[in-house]
Chain A
Amino acid sequence: MELIQQLVNGISLGSIYALIALGYTMVYGIVRLINFAHGDVFMIGSFVGFYAVTALHVGFFPALLLAMAACAVLGVCIERIAYKPLRNATRIAVLITAIGVSLLIEYGTIYLRGAQPEAYPSTLLPDKKLEIFGVIINSQSLLILGTSIVLMILLQLIVYKTKIGKAMRAVSHDAEAARLMGINVDNTISATFAVGSALAGAAGVIFGIYYIKIEPLMGIIPGLKAFVAAVLGGIGIIPGAMVGGLVLGVIESLVSGLGYSLWRDGAAFIILILILIFRPAGLFGKNVREKV
């Protein structure tokens, strides 16, 4: 029973990782860039949700939508200001810029509001304990899981059923060819950043409800872990990010369940290094040989 309990916890946690990982994977798939600032977009989403609830007194869903909208705008701004001028620069230059943007958002937030943590109001979602076959499931976890699944289905619909989704897939396959076919590559990249950041914003609100405490540097560790999840599933592959996130969440819960909770953060990085060594393309990826 203990094991199943840990599995349930792991899936809730994993769905948060999966939502952040989706943004990483989409951005990487389209511009080959590890967006280090993605974890901080997640943090901003969490704070927007918090202020929406405490200052505007709205419910869960309006707060979620508000956070998603704010993060989408932020994501597009980051892309336009920092990454777009570097479209043809070296990979290292882009990576360093991403690190810079990440530090700027973190410390800019601390500068504006201070480093003190905030507590999410616990009355946002109904909190009931459901008991199914001896496993206690929190109603909050179920709602969190449900929201994540709805968002993921929505993403699949956007990517596979809409015109902009088709453009995204074309650009990620071959940006030059897509440009020649009349696709506006810049707008497509912006749209990708908007969608990925909106998912991160939603994850931020969900994370706040799940863990209660939020603070300006909270994006770093979940951001890195979501990246691990994206690599685990095969970076650039959308279903890979979902599976990677869930697997990572479950592994983490099992590690803490076995009594090694202090090593939980280490487990993610050990998985990362093992995956990078033995299967760099990830679980779902194919190996592509680089040519001169």
Chain B
Amino acid sequence: MATWKRTSGFWISIVLALIFFVVVQVLISGQILNSFYINTLFFMVINIILAVSLHLIIGVTGQFSIGHAGFFAVGAYASAIMTMKLQMPFALALLVGGIAAAVAGLLIGIPSLRLKGDYLAIATLGFGEIVRITLLNVDYVGGASGMMVTNLTTWPWVFACLLITIIVIANFTNSTHGRACISIREDEIAADSMGINTTYYKVAAFVIGSFFAGIAGCLYAHHFYIIQPTNFGFLKSFDILIFVVLGGLGSMSGAVIAAILLTVVSTFLQDYPETRMIIYSIVLILVMLYRPKGLLGTKELTSFFKLRRATEGGIGNDNKHTVA
């Protein structure tokens, strides 16, 4: 009974998510949703995966990385090579895309995570640019003109990836490891002196985050027919950063909500790219000036529903207690 009480929230959300999946699947197979809505939906899910994976790095671990588009690009190109050049199945390409991005995350993470704050930001930005310039100059992947990719991304794949990303990252955040990461975010030197292996946890968060960015890259590549290095410049990194910052640094549901909201906004402003960027930048500045914690701060959406129970004297307010 006690176990059910603790995990009921999890199972209820899984059931709700599956209902949502079936409803959308029926709408797609019944051809009630036209391709515009399907496109927006897929783009939304890809953005959510990107936002949640960056949230793990910036929001949970406090490592300010602005080269996320680099990992996204690595995943996209690695999976496109698997399906288009080596004729491998999509599932394998998905896995390879994620692993390639994770390896890239490991390679860049180990040396550069000795850096802090601004320096790390610039190093990751530099990494993203190196990836873009490399892709631009390698003829095997088509150079500047890019690669043609067949359309293999389907709703079940997109949904499964989204669900797995959210479950893995939410569980990671609530585990002993996640607590360690949060302590690094709050004060790295203090965490270090309490015996937490800060480098290990920072690299772990980086690798997991880049793995899911790679998965998102694979879904993106196999949905948009063509991938080009220009799609993965640092404006893309800033886009992902804005999701995390607007949603609240440290709130996963905030990142998800911001990703949904901004995808809808940018779909409507597709014909006015300058206006979109001006709105983005003004929002960014105003949020930082007046509400630097973002929409939700470090709160999760679920904590609003549990508020009453907690004040009545239940255990904790969000089941986030670990023994460590």
Contacts and interface: CB of A to CB of B under 8 A. Distances in A.
Given A91-B117, A262-B137, A270 B288 contact: no
Given A104-B282, A107-B277, A273-B126, A99 B64 contact: no
Contacts of B278: 103-104, 107-108, 111
Given A104-B282, A110-B274, A90 B292 contact: yes
A259 interface: no
Contact of B285 (A89, A104, A262, A272): A104
Interface in A57-88: 82, 85-86
A86 B289 contact: yes
A227 interface: yes
A244 to B, nearest CB: 14
Interface string B94-129: 000000000000000001101101110111011101
A271 to B, nearest CB: 9
Interface of B: 58, 64, 66, 111-112, 114-115, 117-119, 121-123, 125-127, 129-130, 133-134, 136-137, 189-190, 193, 238, 241, 245, 249, 274-275, 277-278, 280-282, 284-285, 288-289, 292
Given A266-B133, A276-B112, A290-B189, A103 B289 contact: no
Contacts of A92: 58, 64, 117, 249
A85 B288 CA distance: 10
A231 B126 CA distance: 13
A280 interface: yes
Nearest to A91: B117
B114 A103 contact: no
B122 A262 contact: no
Contacts of B121: 34, 95
A276 B120 CA distance: 9
Nearest to A268: B126
B4 to A, nearest CB: 40
B292 A265 contact: no
Contacts of B137: 262-263
Given A96-B245, A224-B129, A263-B133, A34 B118 contact: yes
18 contacts: A82-B285, A82-B289, A95-B117, A97-B288, A99-B241, A100-B282, A100-B285, A107-B274, A107-B281, A224-B126, A231-B122, A262-B133, A262-B136, A265-B129, A266-B134, A273-B111, A280-B114, A292-B193
A56 interface: no
Contacts of A103: 238, 277-278, 280-281, 284
A92 B66 CA distance: 11
Contacts of B284: 96-97, 99-100, 103
A100 B112 contact: no
B241 to A, nearest CB: 7
Interface string A23-41: 0000000000010000000
A106 B126 contact: no
Contacts of B281: 100-104, 107
Contact of B190 (A82, A89, A94, A292): A292
A106 B277 contact: yes
B274 A276 contact: no
Interface in A266-292: 266, 269-270, 272-273, 276-277, 280, 290, 292
Contacts of B133: 262-263, 265-266, 269
A97 B285 contact: yes
B112 to A, nearest CB: 7
A190 B38 CA distance: 50
A115 B273 CA distance: 11
Contacts of B274: 107, 110-111, 115
B124 to A, nearest CB: 10
A266 to B, nearest CB: 4
A93 interface: yes
Nearest to A105: B281
Given A86-B288, A269-B130, A99 B238 contact: yes
Given A106-B277, A269-B129, 5 more contacts: A95-B64, A96-B245, A103-B280, A273-B126, A280-B119
B72 to A, nearest CB: 18
Nearest to A271: B126
A273 B112 contact: yes
Contacts of B288: 86, 89, 93-94, 96-97, 100
Nearest to B134: A266
Contacts of B64: 91-92, 95
